[in-house]
Structure 1
Amino acid sequence: MSKQSFLHGAMVLVLASIVTKIIGMGMQIVLNRIVGPEGIGLFRMVFPMLMMILTLSTIGLPTAVSKVIAEAIAVGDRRKVKRVMVFTTVVVTVLSTAFTIGVLGTAAWLTNHLLTDSRTYYTVLAMTPTILVISWSSILRGYFQGIQNQTPPSVAWILETIVRATLTLLIVYYCMPDLVKASAGAMLGLLAGELTHLAYIAACYWRKYGLQRIPIPPMAPYVKPEPFRKTIWSLFEVAGPVTVAGIIGSFAYWLETLLIPRALLASGLTKEEATAAFGLYSGYAVSLLVLPTVFTYALSTTILPSISEAVALNQPKLVQRRLYQAFRFTAIMGLPSSVIFTLLATELSTAIYNTPAAGPILAVMAPVGFFIYLKTPLSSILQGMNRAGLAMFYSIVGSAIKLAVIYWLASKPGLGIMGVAWAVVISNVIVCCAYFLAVTGLIGFYVDLADTLKILVSTLVMSLIIMQAKAVTAGMGSSYTVIFGVSIGLLVYLMLLFLLRVLSLHTVNRIPYVGPVMAKALQWIPFVK
């Protein structure tokens, strides 16, 4: 399978992300309407536990696989690829199996003593088979990212989403009105999707290598075989800081899940009200806020092996170029998204979920959406430059700040879940700024200020258009306001980007698959060049 260019790989993932987000969002809308905030809260209480266990069972190796394989291929050391794949597969299999057995044996204790709602017991049991499945697929995904071929993971992701959405809704529908069974059923739907993902990506891998062991390809005569000990060290040089950061991040996420309901109980809410409020925050407001991460996830996934390759080949100019591309791409997508979520927070939550109560929570977090979206690619750049430890440190600081603010604000009567939203704002701004200063301190400030100003002006005009559209459609219903405001706002925004030469036909034409068709359609507009 051939290597893809940085832009091609990023756009393949972007297209896959858009497809999966559309399907996933459709599933989330229907699911939220079926089970309500309380049912979503039950599922969301268990999900951080799964993330924590996956972090421990993979110990940062998927990220390390992507980086080390990219470096090995860049210098021609093909034998290193085999060592990396064999070693990491064995390690994650052993760890994942151990954690699966451990969770099965302690499920009752976990739900009775750690989670605030014992109704999550069957959801925890349904979660356990996914540990091994996701761990295996993450290693294979890291391999394809390392060889910079994003197509197999992207197709697997789409298939996973289709299967998960279909089975989750079917299972939950037949389990209602029992929220306990519905929550466990949603986890079984997740398992089915992950099995599909693993089956496809493994088939792609085996199609390349057959049913044999990974072959040892011929090495270039100028490349000396790397000692096995050094190979393992290169893996854990990346995996170590990533694991520590992941453990702390996952633990903080899990601790957040444990802390928020307790803080809400302390603010005067009942158990059911606290679970529902947590569901509004995590399953409604956050779900909307992170929609633009379909773009930044693709960017961060492709940028890590690309930066690693540039560092291995001693190409600092390419690293600088990738920073500018990451910032520019995130600004184009993230700034208008932040505006839309801020100005239409209640209308969006009403039109999509029929739950206006999630709107004020979203409105608090949305203004800093750009910082949330930029944080992930900046972290990948630091990891690619062998500064994973620095990224880990800032992540730890951000998690500590977030938990401290949650503890301080969410337990206050009258503030409650809004205190959690403010914690998200404060922690993400601090961490993103720290990442950006760290990256620019290493490679210099390579951001085109004139280009950024054009994006800001376009975003400002778009926000004025949306505000006017909101006033015009007042009283017509949330759906009309959202459709009219977002449509006309984004249309004006895109036209301004072309008019100010932020975007061009050349840029559009480079988008895989759909780019040439879009470029032909746009070339008839006079100011689009």
Structure 2
Amino acid sequence: MQRQSFIAGTSVLIGASLITRILGFIYRIALTRLIGAEGIGLFQMVFPLLTLILTIVTFGMGVSVSKLVAESVVTGNRERIRRILVTALSITLTLAIVLTVGMILFGHFFARYLFTDPRAYFPFITLTPIILIIAAASVLRGYFQGLQIMSTPSVAAIIETLVRIVAVWIIAFLSLAKGKGMEYAAASVSGGMILGELAGCLYMYLIYRRKIRISNLPLPPYTGEPEPFTRTLRAMFEIALPVTFSRFIGSIAFAVEPILVTRSLLMAGITTTLATRMYGEYSGMAIPLLVFPTVFTYSLAVQLVPSISEAIAAGQEKLVERRLYQSFRVTALVGFPTSLILLQYATPLCDAIFHHPHVAPLLAIMAPTGFLLYLQGPLSGILQGINKAGIAMRNSLIGAAIKLLIIYFLASKPAIGISGVAIAVAASVTLTTLLHINSVHRIIGFYVDALDTAKILAATAAMGLFTHLLWINLSAVPLSTALTTAISSGLMVYLLLLVMSGTLTSHAFTRIPWIGKRLAHFIKYIPFSK
């Protein structure tokens, strides 16, 4: 078993997440052009309800397994790891069977009374087989993360994305070619997801069976007393229940959102078809652009739970504080420039990628809160790692409630419409993240290097000015070329300024797996670099 350091594990997760996010983005673009905003809207209408069901099925066991396995590795308690894995699989698979049957029995009821468009029944019922697969995959993923072996779930995610893209594209194309209708094309997205999740889950299981079975783990000898099953179960539930409830509330809000949005738009005088299309543009175009940078901070959040749990089990309080500062710094390095780019280039991005430039105002409303959104994941991971998942749950509940209230009051007004949803997202993100910051500060402190943060902000501002001047001189160039040139040049300037100011050093690059030493070699040739 080859465990990975915090930086190495995070880098592997970021690399894999970046690959899957880029592939997913390409897939999203192609799918949007194939089935249109209406088809995307039909699928997005059912996806929040599926998310709610999956929240119940997985029952927070991924996080629970990750945290408790990390603690057990420190003490060498092999039997506890085995018991955690078996118990987690038993709970999730039992819930999966029950809820799969429920989806099949009540599919028509959901289509008639919950979805504003009856055609949503087809993509919804097609998704039923995915529940069992994701239930098993969540536990396996938590096991590998608890061992801090991030390469296996990362490769599984890439396999899942590749299989899903190919399957969705083929099934959707055949559905439209045979004239089956938009509802069948939307259902093809469900079919592709099932095949992708199955491929990723099978890969993790094969790696577990062949290389990283519990009996093969190189653990230190365990000298303590055997832990009673009831104590192990209680420890699992102490983590799983707050995480599940937090996700449950978020999933309810997510499930209610398309219903509330479309009905509010109907109250504003918009037709059902147009409301479905507008929600598809918001959820399938503006939101994916906004959350794209979470590829970096989500990886941090995943790595933080076992890393902090292990540090606490070993009594290393200073390491917990260090992980917090590293998380904020990485989020600032990524979040500041990407939030500015999304705001500055909202219209050309929506035009070049989706051919829907009118979606840009929604993105522009949400973009300024991008940094706070990207910080939510690491802060939530820290709270879960220090056994304060209940606090993270409370903060998320408050943010979700505020979001739904603002959607109801604003989206139903004809003068605001769908823009009210974007305003609600911005307000909810801001409130939830500030509550997380306050909670972490009260429990372990929240140290921020003011000078370091100021340098990152200054480099971001300089990048924005440079790209603005460059964009003016690219008016005669094709849109996609101009956009690629401006953003890539701006990011290069941003990186150079960070290196020249000493914010990033050559030593920092050496810690990146595979390519770090080569990058560090080139960094030394930049003036004023360290």
Range class of TM-score, shorter chain: over 0.9
Aligned position for 2:402: 401
Alignment of 1:407-486 (within 5 A): 407-474=408-475, 476-486=477-487
Following the alignment from structure 1 to structure 2, what is the Cα–Cα distance between the partners of residues 186 and 222?
51
Question: 1:216-249 CA deviation, whole Å, 9 max, x = no partner?
Answer: 9887353222111110000000001011111111
Aligned position for 1:42: 42
- The runs of 5 or more residues in structure 2 that have no matched partner are none
Following the alignment from structure 2 to structure 1, what is the Cα–Cα distance between the partners of residues 306 and 280?
36
Aligned position for 2:235: 234
Aligned position for 2:191: 188
Q: Secondary structure at the match of 1:148?
A: coil
Aligned position for 2:343: 342
Alignment of 1:91-490 (within 5 A): 91-176=91-176, 178-208=181-211, 220=221, 222-474=223-475, 476-490=477-491
Aligned position for 2:70: 70
Q: Which moved more, 1:513-522 or 1:227-236?
A: 513-522
Alignment of 1:52-71 (within 5 A): 52-71=52-71
Following the alignment from structure 1 to structure 2, what is the Cα–Cα distance between the partners of residues 514 and 50?
39
Following the alignment from structure 1 to structure 2, what is the Cα–Cα distance between the partners of residues 228 and 217?
23
Following the alignment from structure 1 to structure 2, what is the Cα–Cα distance between the partners of residues 219 and 233?
25
Question: 1:489-522 CA deviation, whole Å, 9 max, x = no partner?
Answer: 1111000000111111111111111212222333
Instruction: Give the residue type in structure 1 aligned to 2:494.
Output: Y
Matched, 1:506 2:498: no
Instruction: Give the residue type in structure 1 aligned to 2:97.
Output: T
Question: 1:192-216 CA deviation, whole Å, 9 max, x = no partner?
Answer: 1000011100101111366xx9689
Counterpart contact for 1:79–1:217, Cα < 8 Å: no
Compute the displacement of 1:480 (Å).
3.3
Following the alignment from structure 1 to structure 2, what is the Cα–Cα distance between the partners of residues 300 and 28?
25
Following the alignment from structure 1 to structure 2, what is the Cα–Cα distance between the partners of residues 430 and 437?
11
Aligned position for 1:29: 29
Compute the displacement of 1:525 (Å).
2.8
Matched, 1:6 2:9: no
Following the alignment from structure 2 to structure 1, what is the Cα–Cα distance between the partners of residues 461 and 217?
56
Compute the displacement of 1:442 (Å).
1.1
Compute the displacement of 1:443 (Å).
1.2
Judged with a 3 Å threshold, the aligned counterparts in structure 2 of structure 1 residues 401 and 512 are, in CA distance, closer, same or farther, namely: same
Instruction: Give the residue type in structure 2 aligned to 1:515.
Output: G
Counterpart contact for 2:76–2:219, Cα < 8 Å: no
Judged with a 3 Å threshold, the aligned counterparts in structure 2 of structure 1 residues 30 and 192 are, in CA distance, closer, same or farther, namely: same
Following the alignment from structure 1 to structure 2, what is the Cα–Cα distance between the partners of residues 221 and 135?
30
Count of residue pairs the alignment pairs up? 527
Judged with a 3 Å threshold, the aligned counterparts in structure 2 of structure 1 residues 216 and 320 are, in CA distance, closer, same or farther, namely: closer
Instruction: Give the residue type in structure 1 aligned to 2:207.
Output: C
Following the alignment from structure 1 to structure 2, what is the Cα–Cα distance between the partners of residues 433 and 333?
19
Counterpart contact for 2:286–2:363, Cα < 8 Å: yes
Counterpart contact for 1:469–1:481, Cα < 8 Å: no
Judged with a 3 Å threshold, the aligned counterparts in structure 2 of structure 1 residues 487 and 223 are, in CA distance, closer, same or farther, namely: same
Instruction: Give the residue type in structure 2 aligned to 1:157.
Output: A
Compute the displacement of 1:478 (Å).
2.8
Q: Which moved more, 1:472-481 or 1:272-281?
A: 472-481
Judged with a 3 Å threshold, the aligned counterparts in structure 2 of structure 1 residues 155 and 409 are, in CA distance, closer, same or farther, namely: same
Counterpart contact for 2:500–2:526, Cα < 8 Å: no
Instruction: Give the residue type in structure 2 aligned to 1:238.
Output: I
Following the alignment from structure 1 to structure 2, what is the Cα–Cα distance between the partners of residues 317 and 272?
56
Instruction: Give the residue type in structure 2 aligned to 1:73.
Output: V
Following the alignment from structure 1 to structure 2, what is the Cα–Cα distance between the partners of residues 473 and 378?
40
Q: What is the RMSD of the two structures over their aligned residues, measured on CA atoms?
A: 1.5
Question: 1:345-376 CA deviation, whole Å, 9 max, x = no partner?
Answer: 01001011111111111011001100000001
Counterpart contact for 2:260–2:408, Cα < 8 Å: yes
Judged with a 3 Å threshold, the aligned counterparts in structure 2 of structure 1 residues 474 and 217 are, in CA distance, closer, same or farther, namely: closer
Instruction: Give the residue type in structure 2 aligned to 1:356.
Output: P
Compute the displacement of 1:465 (Å).
1.3
Compute the displacement of 1:475 (Å).
5.3
Question: 1:390-438 CA deviation, whole Å, 9 max, x = no partner?
Answer: 0000000000000000001011002111000000000100110110111
Judged with a 3 Å threshold, the aligned counterparts in structure 2 of structure 1 residues 214 and 47 are, in CA distance, closer, same or farther, namely: farther
Following the alignment from structure 1 to structure 2, what is the Cα–Cα distance between the partners of residues 63 and 40?
30
Question: 1:445-502 CA deviation, whole Å, 9 max, x = no partner?
Answer: 3221111110000001111112222222235443233112202211110000001111
Following the alignment from structure 1 to structure 2, what is the Cα–Cα distance between the partners of residues 28 and 119?
21
Instruction: Give the residue type in structure 2 aligned to 1:31.
Output: L
Following the alignment from structure 1 to structure 2, what is the Cα–Cα distance between the partners of residues 465 and 329?
23
Aligned position for 1:526: 527
Following the alignment from structure 2 to structure 1, what is the Cα–Cα distance between the partners of residues 513 and 294?
19
Following the alignment from structure 1 to structure 2, what is the Cα–Cα distance between the partners of residues 328 and 209?
33
Instruction: Give the residue type in structure 2 aligned to 1:371.
Output: L
Following the alignment from structure 1 to structure 2, what is the Cα–Cα distance between the partners of residues 217 and 296?
30
Following the alignment from structure 1 to structure 2, what is the Cα–Cα distance between the partners of residues 217 and 298?
26
Instruction: Give the residue type in structure 2 aligned to 1:252.
Output: A
Instruction: Give the residue type in structure 1 aligned to 2:155.
Output: V
Counterpart contact for 2:268–2:417, Cα < 8 Å: yes
Counterpart contact for 1:321–1:446, Cα < 8 Å: no
Following the alignment from structure 1 to structure 2, what is the Cα–Cα distance between the partners of residues 216 and 166?
36
Q: Which moved more, 1:367-376 or 1:17-26?
A: 17-26
Judged with a 3 Å threshold, the aligned counterparts in structure 2 of structure 1 residues 217 and 519 are, in CA distance, closer, same or farther, namely: closer
Aligned position for 2:51: 51
Q: What percentage of aligned pairs have identical amino acids?
A: 44
Question: 1:55-76 CA deviation, whole Å, 9 max, x = no partner?
Answer: 0111111111111111111222
- The runs of 5 or more residues in structure 1 that have no matched partner are none
